[in-house]
Every structure is written in C-alpha cells, then in structure tokens.
Structure 1
Amino acid sequence: MEEHHGPFCQSCGMPLRTPADPGTEMDGSPSHDYCTYCYQKGAFTDPAITMEEMAAFCAKTMADMDIMPLDKAKTMMDAFLPTLKRWRA
C-alpha cells in the first residue's frame, strides 16, 4: 500500500485527496476531519457503527479493491483506527 502523508478521514482513515472526498459540516462547508462516506451535514452517516465494525468494513473494502489481503488489512485497521479522532477515548 502506498504511504500517504496528508489529511485523511479521522473516522475510517480514507485519504482526503480530492475536493469531493471531504464530508460536509452543518453549514455545507467541507469537513477538515471526515470523509464524505462517514460525515454529512455535520453528523456521522452511521453514528451507531463501532470501531470494530468500521475496521472490518474498511479491511473488506481494501481487500475487495486489491489493495492488500483481508487479514493484513484487518490487522492494520485494528491498529490504526484507535489513533483517529473519532475513536480516541
């Protein structure tokens, strides 16, 4: 997987590379912290999802996109997600 240095979603870890990637705040402005899949109109699109469910979903997505094998993606997401703003205690 290519290393990415720059803003990324503080919920799922997706790189925020293009103007379409960020979610939106309540006033419609782009979010600086979250992607369009996780955050719209100032709220999480799935407020009930757990960190473990997010890790499983992201790992499957990465495997389906042939970014890395599922087991490696799951291990990486399990370690990475707890460092993100949404999941920090």
Structure 2
Amino acid sequence: MENKAICQSCGMPLDSDDVKGTEKDGQKSNEYCKYCYENGAFKHPKMNLEDMKSNVQNQMKKLEQHEYAIQKAINILPGLNRWKKN
C-alpha cells in the first residue's frame, strides 16, 4: 500500500500543493492542510482532539461519505502529530 501524506491535524490527504497549508515564509507545508494551518500557525489553536473529531465527522457527512470511511478517519486522529503532543 502506498504511503500517502496526510494532514497531521485533520487527516486530509495532502495530494496536491493547493490543499497544503503555508509556513511563515510562504512555503507550502508538507505536514498540514490549508484548512488547519496558515502562515506557520494553526487556524484554530484552541481546538482540541474532540473538536477535531466532530469537525471531521461533520465535513465528511456534508460530502456524503460512507459511515465506515468517516469512522476510519476519526480513528486515525489521535495518532497524528498535532494530537500526540497533547
């Protein structure tokens, strides 16, 4: 199985530069997406893991993702770098 880069905050695939967040110097982040990270900082710095789980679930439901895929996405969140530090 191919090891694909995913956002280390929400788990979104980082499969193109236009979904990648930005560092302070304007460089694209290889670690976080544009929905979580901008100008070298998290867009929602006070967000906790439970908030992110709800956010991911809500966004995936809007995209009409299958419940299995939603649960799988939520289950990987605690292992991502942003949440392992907490």
Does TM-score exceed 0.5, indicating one fold?
yes
**What's the TM-score once normalised by structure 1's chain length?**
0.84
**Cα offset, 1:60, TM superposition:** 1.2
Q: Which runs of 5 or more structure 2 residues have no equivalent in the other structure?
A: none
What is the count of residue pairs matched by the alignment? 85
How much identity, in percent, do the aligned residues show?
A: 36
The whole-number CA distance in structure 2 between the counterparts of 1:77 and 1:21 is 17
Note if contact 2:19-2:34 (Cα within 8 Å) is conserved in structure 1.
Answer: yes
Aligned residue in 2 for 1:76? 72
**Cα offset, 1:67, TM superposition:** 1.3
SS state at 2:21 partner = strand
Change (3 A) 1:27 1:72: closer
The whole-number CA distance in structure 2 between the counterparts of 1:44 and 1:22 is 13
Output the aligned Cα RMSD.
Answer: 1.9
**What's the TM-score once normalised by structure 2's chain length?**
0.87
Q: Which runs of 5 or more structure 1 residues have no equivalent in the other structure?
A: none
